[in-house]
Amino acid sequence: MNGHSTPIGIPAESRRRFEENYRLATQDKGRLFLMAGDQKVEHLNDDFIGGQVASDDADPEHLFHIASEAPVGCFATQLGLISRYGMDYKDIPYLIKLNSKTHLVRSEQRDPLSLQWQSMEQVAEFVRYSGLRVVGVGYTIYPGSEYEAAMLTEASRMIFTAHQMGLLAVIWAYPRGKAVGAREQDAHLIAGAAGLGACLGADFVKVNPPLNTQGEMEAKLLGEAVAAAGRTQVICAGGKETSAEDFLQRLYDQIHTGGTAGCATGRNVHQRSQQEAVRFCQAIHAIAVENKGVDDAVKLLGGRT
């Protein structure tokens, strides 16, 4: 499994299923390209209409069109969307995002709290009867929130049960709240959040890339987070839309300088037209999974970047 450790303490059949799901999600390369489609809750409709956003993005099916054609390791979104569209997109490897909150209540107003929507028993029923390939589940924690204890408890129990079912567990770890303030992308704090993901038993922990003292992203700062996470693999959030070439260079640096194990991106993919989004995913896949260089990846864009 490319150096990734399978959790112990689970039944033999679940162990076999877990290893199959890991190979499928990482495409047998040990790196994860996660397409994030949870923003319809997190950001409501802000990410899906207006400005330079492609008109296709107004319809949630656009996400499924892309995920079905692009070489993504898994598509992460809420179970409700999967249940409404999955019957027409059965070949997508899905990751069910089990908690989400809107951005309407800001951290200045109240520390973030995001609780689980469905129980793992409900997830098991869905997996059993949907006929879809669900490879894992995901959950966001906000270290530093005054409500972190509730989220950590839910996340820990979710991960344990997911492994018992043979599913991967991905943790979104974003330090946030009044105790954190402006330090959300502080490298040392992000490393702490990555280590927290390891203590929860996550297979992957998704973090925001850290900023240096000048407020710029610096890939080498990820080294502390990767070390802190140990056998839990670190992936970075894609962030707001940027040029394709800049995104690909940043991704390459995160992997080869920072030591991360892939990427998770949403807006940078789905805000493009379907054709452009699929080409962009092919370029991301070339770097994140096939271990190619930026120049080779850029060639796959085939035009506008």
Catalytic residues: 174, 206
Rounded Cα gap, residues 235 and 216, in angstroms: 18
Structure tokens at 183: 């330090």
Structure tokens at 211: 């900023």
Sequence-ordered list of residues with C-beta below 8 angstroms from that of 220, at least 6 positions apart, any chain: 257, 258
Rounded Cα gap, residues 84 and 79, in angstroms: 9
- Determine the Cα angle at 78 with ends 231 and 44, to 5°: 115
Give the helix/strand (H/E) hosting 77.
strand 74-77
Query: DSSP 3-state assignment of 124?
Result: helix
* AA letter at 30: G
104 burial via Cβ count (<10 Å: 0-12, 13-18, 19+): exposed
